[in-house]
Amino acid sequence: MNAPADRNIDANVFMAEIEDVIRAIPEINESWAALEHFEWLGRVEAILKHPAVNKQAEARALIREALGNKSKSTARSQLLILLKSAKSRLR
């Protein structure tokens, strides 16, 4: 496993955070701009900008798209794909 050592995070803890964020993904029919979803989006961005994952640009674009409500379903799906990719990358 490629441990995200540059931020001093245990790889197992990082993997558990990714899994928890995947489980907590908001429903499509809810507004992503609701206050309770900002914490989730922040967690996603933190994971995806970590050097072990390095998907910050993609995360920012998709979060902006999700908050714009233009294609929140697509943004949700693509964020989920990036999270699952990060999980696989760390294995």
Cα(50)–Cα(45) distance, rounded to whole angstroms?
A: 9
The CA radius of gyration of the chain, in Å to the nearest whole number, is 13
**CA 84 to each of CA 10, 13, 19, 29, 35: distance values in angstroms, whole numbers, following the listed order:** 18, 16, 8, 22, 24
Show the domain range for 30.
5-90
Instruction: Check residue 7 and give its pLDDT.
Output: 55
Question: How far is the first Cα of the chain from the last one, in angstroms, to the nearest whole number?
Answer: 5
Q: How many domains does the chain have?
A: 1
Q: What per-residue confidence (pLDDT) applies to 3?
A: 43
All residue ranges of the chain with pLDDT < 70 are 1-8, 28-32, 69-72
What pLDDT was estimated at residue 70? 63
Task: Check residue 65 and give its pLDDT.
Answer: 80
